[in-house]
Amino acid sequence: MVNGFSPATLQEALEIRARHSVTPYAGGTDLMINPDPDAVYLFVNHIPEMKQIEQRGDQLHLGAACTYTQLLEHPLTPAILKAAIDLIAAPAIRNEGTIGGNIANGSAKADSVLIFFVADASLKLNSQSAERIIPIRDFYRERKQLDLRPDELITEIILPTKWLDHYYYKKVGARKALAISRVVFAGLLTWQDDVIAHCATAFGAVSGVVLRCPELDALLIGKTRSEAQAAKAGYLAAFGDMIAPIQGRVSAEYRKEVCLNLLTDFLTSNGI
Amino acid sequence: MNQGIVFKLNGQPVSYTGSAADRLLDVLRQTYRLTGVKCGCNEGECGACSVLIDGHLANSCMVAMGRVENCEVTTIEGYSQTERFQVLEQAYAAVSAVQCGYCIPGMILASECVLARHPHPSETEIRLGLSGNLCRCTGYNAIVKAIQIAAEKGEGLW
Ligand SMILES: Cc1cc2nc3c(=O)[nH]c(=O)nc-3n(C[C@H](O)[C@H](O)[C@H](O)COP(=O)(O)OP(=O)(O)OC[C@H]3O[C@@H](n4cnc5c(N)ncnc54)[C@H](O)[C@@H]3O)c2cc1C
Ligand code: FES
Ligand code: FES
């Protein structure tokens, strides 16, 4: 085809990626908003190795070219990810849009990316000569600055599933479905034997990248309910210092207040 | 690199020799003269450009031609040859769900996807299924009603 490659296998795709200057095209739902008429696309939407969904032990492996619809309909997709996908756009966009595209587009407003952050997911990046697996947090250097080499593709998202069952997810946007989120929050908290065994939080759309501060969430881990209640004010204050919202159409102060309200609600809903 | 993009368009095999980066919407309208596919926003928000790709609803303004290689693309022109279309057409007409008509090719294809997925759809399932298709004229209630009627009258078709 003219100005494009449509490889049938991952190996073929990686060969093309190594030899030509191409733009990966998964669902096109970000690319086609401002299409570059001179782009040479590498279509990855048909590559079977990038569409698999497989649980291996405590880890769920999601092919980067899985569409939102595919994930919504799959029994292995964790409820927290389905909750986020449910609020992404409308059916036609969900039929085409992929999680790999959401990640590689590099926006801090990307809704599935938030879930991958709170879950401490890793990305599998492949080139013809190498494969590397890196934590999603390391993939984003800053806004639109990705740790992706020109010969690499994101092939898989590796999601640890152990702590995903007890989740809190809220998207505060102008319109429920079609709005690219203004503020999104996801939290995970698991009690074991009356102490907090796991706590993780992530904020989307407040800074250039998703905000995830495991060192602050660690303030609550190992605490009993009463200890956690005593630590609550300090925990909220620490996040208050951390959240420096970007200036956008919604005022920075408003965003910050929403973030802290969501964090408070997350704690309250867990009895803290 | 110079072999065309081969796909099925409304059941007919075709080969597109232009750029893989061209928009499906533009190619459908300009090359294949399928002007039932409308352009409302060109950015994935309105659904006027809806088509079916392998039976799934897609916004053709958000699709590059290379993506449809070896796929089946159905536009309203192709879909209107089906028995299901007849049922939807009558149902839309029965409740005056069509005003200016601009959104209707997309609405019909979105309706098809709702019914293919839920032959007996709840109102919520209908509204969610139509959530990417905007209509400036009818206010949606008539369209929802039309789909309910089609589900009843077309019993067994979906
Ligand atoms: C109307 C509308 C509503 C939307 N609503 C939302 C929303 O609510 N929430 C949200 O988060 N997003 C939303 N989006 C944005 C978009 O749909 C998502 O970001 C989607 O996940 C992008 O995936 P894609 O496969 O379509 O990406 P593409 O457009 O194909 O690609 C996006 C970028 O990623 C690169 N890329 C893709 N796959 C790979 C890969 N495997 N390896 C390396 N690079 C890759 C591409 O080169 C490109 O730079 C919306 C878009 C539209 C048009
Ligand atoms: S023209 Fe494609 S969604 Fe509006
Ligand atoms: S009938 Fe006019 S836009 Fe729907």
Q: Which ligand ends up closest to the CA of B37?
A: 2
- Owning domain of residue B14: 5-78
Distance CA A144, CA A104 (A): 9
- Residues B141, B93, single domain; the answer is yes
Q: What is the pTM of this model?
A: 0.96
**Protein residue closest via CA to atom 4 of ligand 3:** B135
- DSSP code at position A144: T
Contacts of B66 in chain A (CB under 8 A): 1, 3-6, 25, 41, 43
- The pair of three-digit structure tokens given for residue B58, joined into one six-digit string: 């897609």
* Contact assignment for B44 to A37 by CB distance below 8 Å: no
- Residues B64, B116, single domain; the answer is no
pLDDT tens, per residue, chain A with 272 residues: 999 999 999 999 999 999 999 999 999 999 999 988 889 999 999 999 999 999 999 999 999 999 999 999 999 999 999 999 999 999 999 999 999 999 999 887 799 999 999 999 999 999 999 999 999 999 998 777 899 999 999 999 999 999 999 999 999 875 544 455 578 999 999 999 999 999 999 998 777 889 999 999 999 999 999 999 999 999 999 999 998 766 665 677 788 888 999 999 999 999 99
Q: Which amino acid is at B149?
A: I
Angle subtended at Cα B150 by Cα B148 and Cα B155, rounded to the nearest 5 degrees: 105
Given a contact cutoff of 8 angstroms between Cβ atoms, the answer to whether A80 and A186 are in contact is: yes
B45 interface with A at CB cutoff 8 Å: yes
pLDDT at B1 over 50: no
- Residues B57, B99, single domain; the answer is no
Given a contact cutoff of 8 angstroms between Cβ atoms, the answer to whether A169 and A269 are in contact is: no
B57 interface with A at CB cutoff 8 Å: yes
CATH number at residue B52: 3.10.20.30
* Contact assignment for A31 to B64 by CB distance below 8 Å: yes
- Residues B13, B71, single domain; the answer is yes
**Protein residue closest via CA to atom 15 of ligand 1:** A30
Residue A180's pLDDT is 53
pLDDT at B48 over 90: yes
pLDDT at B49 over 60: yes
Looking at B78, B97, B125, the residue that finishes a domain is B78
pLDDT at B126 over 50: yes
CATH number at residue B117: 1.10.150.120
**Protein residue closest via CA to atom 41 of ligand 1:** A154
Residue B158 lies in a domain: no
A174 interface with B at CB cutoff 8 Å: no
**In 10 A of CB A116, how many CB atoms?**
29
- The residue in chain A having the minimum alpha-carbon distance to the alpha carbon of residue B19 is A2
Average pLDDT for B70-81: 98
- Residues B13, B65, single domain; the answer is yes
Distance CA B126, CA B130 (A): 6
Looking at B59, B78, B97, the residue that finishes a domain is B78
A4 interface with B at CB cutoff 8 Å: yes
Q: Which of B1, B58, B131 sits opposite A1 (nearest CB)?
A: B1
Residue B22 lies in a domain: yes
B58 interface with A at CB cutoff 8 Å: yes
Residue A205's pLDDT is 72
Distance CA A88, CA A95 (A): 11
Looking at B51, B78, B105, the residue that finishes a domain is B78
Residue B95 lies in a domain: yes
Given a contact cutoff of 8 angstroms between Cβ atoms, the answer to whether A53 and A76 are in contact is: yes
Q: Which of B47, B63, B70 sits opposite A28 (nearest CB)?
A: B63
Mutate to test the pocket of ligand 3, among B50, B102, B108 (most ligand atoms within 8 A of CB): B102
Residue B124 lies in a domain: yes
ipTM of the complex: 0.97
pLDDT at B109 over 80: yes
Helices (H), A119-251: 136-139, 214-217, 225-242
- Regarding the beta carbon of B40 and ligand 2, being less than 6 Å apart is answered yes
* Helices (runs of H) and strands (runs of E) counted in chain A: 10, 13
Q: Positive or negative, the Cα torsion across A101, A106, A108, A109?
A: negative
Distance CA B133, CA B25 (A): 16
- The pair of three-digit structure tokens given for residue A198, joined into one six-digit string: 């796991």
Residue B103 lies in a domain: yes
A75 interface with B at CB cutoff 8 Å: no
Residue A160's pLDDT is 98
- Residues B71, B88, single domain; the answer is no
Q: Which ligand ends up closest to the CA of A93?
A: 1
Q: How many domains does chain B have?
A: 2
Closest CA to A112 of A47, A216, A29, A235: A29
Residue B121 lies in a domain: yes
- Residues B35, B92, single domain; the answer is no
Three-state DSSP class for residue A207: coil
- The residue in chain B having the minimum alpha-carbon distance to the alpha carbon of residue A5 is B66
